[in-house]
C-alpha cells in the first residue's frame, strides 16, 4: 500500500517539495522487506520500506537520497527516451498522422512528424497560456517543448518553467489545454495532493475527460 499520505513530517514534506521542483514524484510503499529500497524511474522515485519502519527513519532515509535522485534523473530520462525514440521511429511508417485528433490525408516520417507537431504546438500554446493563466491564477515564466514519451508535461516550480510534450497535437486540442492547466496548478501545489486536484477541477471542471484520453482510457495510448 502507498503510505506517503500517512506521514506529514516537515523533513519528509521538504523532500517531497525538493523532488517535485525537479519534476520527480515520490511514491512510498510498505512491503515485507528488510531494508529500504530505492528505484529511480522517469519522473518518479519509488521507495519500498519495511512494514515496521518508523516515520522518522523513513523521512531520514528518503531525505538522504533526494540529491542522488535529482542528480541522476536526467540520465535516467535520457536512457528511457532513447529507447522510446527508437521504438517510435520503427513504427512511424505504420501509424496514421493525427492533428488535434483528426487523421490527416498524408503520411510523414518520425522526424517529419516531430517537426510538424512542433510547428502546430508552437502556434497555439501562447494563446492557450494567455487563456488559462488568469483562470488558474498562476503564471509560467517560460514554456518549452520537448520530445517526452513518459509524460505530457512537466513543471519546474522554482523556475516556473513548464515543458510540453511535442506529441500533444496528435490529440484533441482540449488535451493540450488540460496539460497546461495541470502544470499551471503545480505552481500552487508541487505534488498531486487532494488540494492539487481540487485546484485542477475548479479551473477545468471537465478535465477528467481529457485526462483519461491521454491516460489511455479512451482508446489512446499514453
Dump pLDDT digits (tens) for 111-167.
889 999 999 999 999 999 999 999 999 999 999 999 887 789 989 888 999 999 999
Rounded CA gap, 156 and 19, in Å? 10
pLDDT at residue 28 is higher than 60: yes
Most confident of 9-13, 59-63, 123-127: 123-127
Between vectors from CA 30 to CA 28 and to CA 33, what angle results, nearest 5°?
A: 120
pLDDT at residue 20 is higher than 60: yes
pTM: 0.63
Which among 46, 98, 114 has a CA at the least distance from the CA of 221?
98
Q: In the chain, where are the structural domains located?
A: 4-82, 95-214
Q: Give the tens place of pLDDT for each residue, 164-221.
A: 999 999 999 999 999 999 999 999 998 888 889 999 999 999 999 999 888 874 433 2
- Summarize the confidence of residues 70-76 as an average pLDDT: 88
Which among 126, 163, 165, 127 has a CA at the least distance from the CA of 148?
165
- In CATH terms, 95-214 corresponds, of 3.30.2010.10, 1.20.1740.10, 3.40.50.720, 3.40.50.300, to 3.30.2010.10
The yes-or-no answer to whether 4-82 and 95-214 have a common fold is yes
pLDDT at residue 91 is higher than 70: no
- Cβ neighbours, 10 Å, residue 193: 12
- In CATH terms, 4-82 corresponds, of 3.40.50, 2.60.120, 3.30.2010, 2.30.30, to 3.30.2010
How many helices (H) and strands (E) the chain has is answered by 6, 8
The confidence score (pLDDT) of residue 148 equals 81
pLDDT at residue 74 is higher than 50: yes
Handedness of CA 106, 112, 113, 115 (dihedral sign): negative
The confidence score (pLDDT) of residue 8 equals 54
Amino acid at each position: 500500500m502507498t503510505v506517503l499520505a500517512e506521514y506529514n513530517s516537515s523533513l519528509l514534506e521538504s523532500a517531497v517539495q525538493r523532488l517535485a521542483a525537479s519534476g520527480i514524484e515520490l511514491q512510498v510503499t510498505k512491503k515485507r522487506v528488510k531494508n529500504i529500497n530505492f528505484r529511480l524511474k522517469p519522473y518518479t522515485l519509488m521507495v519500498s520500506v519495511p512494514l515496521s519502519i518508523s516515520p522518522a527513519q523513513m523521512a531520514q532515509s528518503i531525505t538522504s537520497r533526494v540529491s542522488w535522485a535529482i542528480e541522476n534523473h536526467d540520465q535516467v530520462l535520457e536512457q528511457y527516451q532513447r529507447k522510446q525514440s527508437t521504438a517510435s521511429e520503427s513504427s512511424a511508417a505504420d501509424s496514421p498522422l493525427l492533428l488535434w485528433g483528426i487523421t490527416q490525408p498524408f503520411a510523414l516520417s518520425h522526424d517529419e512528424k516531430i517537426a510538424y507537431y512542433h510547428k502546430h504546438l508552437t502556434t497555439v500554446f501562447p494563446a492557450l497560456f494567455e487563456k488559462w493563466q488568469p483562470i488558474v491564477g498562476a503564471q509560467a515564466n517560460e514554456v518549452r517543448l520537448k520530445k517526452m514519451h513518459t509524460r505530457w508535461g512537466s513543471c519546474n516550480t522554482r523556475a516556473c518553467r513548464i515543458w510540453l510534450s511535442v506529441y500533444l497535437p496528435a490529440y484533441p486540442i482540449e488535451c493540450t489545454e488540460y496539460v497546461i492547466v495541470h502544470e499551471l496548478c503545480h505552481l500552487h501545489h508541487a505534488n498531486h495532493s487532494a488540494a492539487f486536484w481540487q485546484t485542477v477541477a475548479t479551473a477545468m471542471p471537465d478535465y477528467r475527460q481529457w485526462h483519461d484520453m491521454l491516460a489511455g482510457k479512451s482508446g489512446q495510448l499514453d
